[in-house]
Amino acid sequence: MSSASLDTTSGHVDVLIVGAGVSGIGAAYYLQREHPQRSFMILEAREATGGTWDLFRFPGIRSDSDLHTFGYEFKPWRDEHAIASADKILAYLRETAAEHGIDRKIRFGSKVVSASWSSQDARWTVEVDHAGTGERMTLTCSWLFCAGGYYRYDEGFTPRFEGRERFRGLIIHPQHWPADLDYTGQRVLVIGSGATAVTLIPAMADTAAHVTMLQRTPSYVMAMPSKDKLANRLRALLGDDRGYAITRRKNIIQQQAIWRFCQKYPKAARRIIRNLNAKMLPAGYPVDEHFNPPYNPWDQRLCLAPNGDLFKAIRDGRASIVTDRIVTFTEQGVLLESGRELEADIIVTATGLNVQAMGGMSLTVDGRPVSLPDTIAFKGMMLSGVPNFAYAIGYTNSSWTLKIGLLCEHFCRLLAYMDAHGYDTARPELADPDMPTRPLLNFAAGYVQRAIAQLPRQGDRAPWLTSMSYAGDVRLLRRLPVEDPELRFSHSQAREQAAAEPAEVVA
Ligand SMILES: Cc1cc2nc3c(=O)[nH]c(=O)nc-3n(C[C@H](O)[C@H](O)[C@H](O)COP(=O)(O)OP(=O)(O)OC[C@H]3O[C@@H](n4cnc5c(N)ncnc54)[C@H](O)[C@@H]3O)c2cc1C
């Protein structure tokens, strides 16, 4: 893969993007389109683009979102499957990067470990570890755009299981899937009930002897066709660009409407989902035991079963669900609180992610370390007291990328505004230090809750709210001005000095 070379004479770029996943590639596209004169570079810790879609290799890995909203606004999704496998998503991302020359701007194996802001110079000094050589490199940038995702790449989350070492079979975490694992004819036990488990189980059930899903708490699972017939018809009729644009709009409205309905009428939503589930399960199946979560629909992400694959595997007897708690691992499997023992050859711990904010970088502003829980998110994309720093965190209630596109647009408008007024520094400053704050993500998922204390917070009023509403964000990030009384613009001393000094005349 090609790699960016840094201008070694200055070691400086205007914008440094951290991470070459969906968000980093998207940010590069918008930056290049709106500010072609600006220099930028993407630093990527791994040796490949794609982030999530390259890291996870477990059987069946696919999106939960339709690619008409998970895809970029500027690049149509052409595949007939709206719910797509990781390899198709990766191909789409890499095609985007290649088409726009973004792949030439990526420096691989380069992990950003820290960044220090100097107000005097209006720049960040960034420390980067190089994976291959172990060398540390320093460079500077005027803006730091963190697109480092939201979880640790080196280690997935596994709770402590009593007696784990006693188990004689294999224990695997989906984040570290062995490429050569052959589970044909094996008894597989998957611990977990989230999107990963729901994806893995039908995929493994094709060749495994049997797959058991062991869950402590049920999730909501909705069956949906993997192909969107209307989208495919529109594409055939109107062409890729117009067909995609219409389907995207339809799906955005649909996603928001479903989410709002679930928030407003949780009981009705629960009843509808339960009845749909029951129709897809064998007669007499204990739906209320295995598909009846204690929380309301969309308090956590709904899991998706494309073409009802999970329900089909259950109907065919290739997969089953057990709702219980583990007392201990045993030599043969796990012993449950009910006294039942589940035997297995392979145990998959689909127990989640370790959330990590801002790519794990440590930030310093004028010598003072930034404590993320003491910062407040400004418009869901900058941090109070941290100048020239933007980050990409997408939606948790609809496609992640929908928000990324809007915040990249806003970021580009902000740069244009600063250019027009000769500013080189933008720092969100909270006017009311007594403003009540709450967690950044109002999401009940275990992985979010475990990390809440390490994350920035949000306020109770604009611009300190982190919106989960696409319509609200279109207004805030696309339409409303970038100026805000709580976003302070300034010229650095370095810039003022440069302006005051007489220009050198070359004879
Ligand atoms: C299995 C799975 C399925 C998912 N399915 C969906 C879905 O269907 N719909 C949806 O909306 N969301 C989904 N998500 C959430 C998903 O992660 C996001 O939608 C999206 O892929 C995130 O893209 P990103 O570029 O922001 O982050 P990532 O994909 O995590 O990419 C971040 C990149 O930054 C790099 N990086 C991180 N820190 C540093 C650093 N300090 N220095 C240099 N590089 C760094 C990483 O190596 C990585 O390449 C899913 C998540 C998982 C785990």
pLDDT in tens, 98-155: 999 999 999 999 999 999 999 999 999 999 999 878 899 999 999 999 999 999 999 9
Beta carbon of 183 within 6 Å of any ligand 1 atom: no
Peptide bond between residue 463 and the one before it cis (omega within 30 degrees of 0): yes
Atom of ligand 1 nearest to the CA of 61: 1
By alpha-carbon position, which residue is closest to atom 4 of ligand 1? 63
What is the rounded distance in angstroms from the CA atom of residue 96 to the CA atom of residue 407?
19
Mean pLDDT, residues 53-64 taken together: 97
Query: What does the DSSP assignment read for 196-227?
Result: HHHHHHHHHHTTSSEEEEEESS---EEEE-SB
What is the rounded distance in angstroms from the CA atom of residue 387 to the CA atom of residue 428?
7
With cut-offs at 50, 70 and 90, classify the pLDDT of residue 443: low
> Residue for token digits 């302006």?
499
> Residue for token digits 């594409």?
235
By alpha-carbon position, which residue is closest to atom 3 of ligand 1? 63
By alpha-carbon position, which residue is closest to atom 38 of ligand 1? 359
Supply φ then ψ for residue 282, to 5 degrees.
Answer: -60, 155
What is the rounded distance in angstroms from the CA atom of residue 98 to the CA atom of residue 1?
11
Please tell me the distance between residue 396's alpha carbon and the centre of ligand 1 in angstroms. Answer: 12
> Residue for token digits 């488990």?
197
Beta carbon of 306 within 6 Å of any ligand 1 atom: no
Please tell me the distance between residue 22's alpha carbon and the centre of ligand 1 in angstroms. Answer: 7
Beta carbon of 52 within 6 Å of any ligand 1 atom: yes
Mean pLDDT, residues 455-483 taken together: 95
3-state secondary structure at position 381:
coil
CA angle 343-348-352, nearest 5°? Answer: 135
- Output the CA–CA distances (angstroms, integers) from residue 131 to 6, 23, 152, 490, in the order listed: 17, 22, 16, 37
Q: Which of 1, 42, 52 to mutate to test the pocket of ligand 1 (most atoms within 8 A of CB)?
A: 52
CB atoms within 10 A of CB 202: 24
Q: Is 246 exposed, middle or buried (0-12, 13-18, 19+ CB in 10 A)?
A: middle
Residue pair 117/387 in contact (Cβ under 8 Å)? The answer is yes
At 381, the amino acid letter reads M
Question: Strands 346-349, 170-172: parallel, antiparallel or unpaired by DSSP?
Answer: parallel
Please tell me the distance between residue 20's alpha carbon and the centre of ligand 1 in angstroms. Answer: 9
pLDDT at 10: 65
pTM for this prediction: 0.94
What is the rounded distance in angstroms from the CA atom of residue 38 to the CA atom of residue 442?
36
Beta carbon of 66 within 6 Å of any ligand 1 atom: no
Average pLDDT of every residue of the chain: 94
Mean pLDDT, residues 405-416 taken together: 98
Atom of ligand 1 nearest to the CA of 196: 1
Beta carbon of 44 within 6 Å of any ligand 1 atom: yes
Mean pLDDT, residues 194-212 taken together: 97
Residue pair 197/355 in contact (Cβ under 8 Å)? The answer is no
Judge whether residue 423 has pLDDT over 80.
yes
183-200 pLDDT per residue, tens: 999 999 999 999 999 999
Beta carbon of 112 within 6 Å of any ligand 1 atom: yes
Half-sphere exposure of 254 (CA within 13 A, CB side): 11
Identify the residue with better confidence: 320 or 298.
320
Beta carbon of 18 within 6 Å of any ligand 1 atom: yes
By alpha-carbon position, which residue is closest to atom 30 of ligand 1? 149
Q: How far is CA 342 from the centre of its chain?
A: 34
pLDDT at 493: 74
By alpha-carbon position, which residue is closest to atom 35 of ligand 1? 19
What is the rounded distance in angstroms from the CA atom of residue 362 to the CA atom of residue 127?
10
Beta carbon of 25 within 6 Å of any ligand 1 atom: no
Judge whether residue 8 has pLDDT over 50.
no
Beta carbon of 311 within 6 Å of any ligand 1 atom: no
Please tell me the distance between residue 175's alpha carbon and the centre of ligand 1 in angstroms. Answer: 12
Beta carbon of 174 within 6 Å of any ligand 1 atom: no
Beta carbon of 64 within 6 Å of any ligand 1 atom: yes
329-380 pLDDT per residue, tens: 999 999 999 999 999 999 999 999 999 999 999 999 999 999 999 999 999 9
Please tell me the distance between residue 52's alpha carbon and the centre of ligand 1 in angstroms. Answer: 4
With cut-offs at 50, 70 and 90, classify the pLDDT of residue 9: low
Please tell me the distance between residue 295's alpha carbon and the centre of ligand 1 in angstroms. Answer: 26
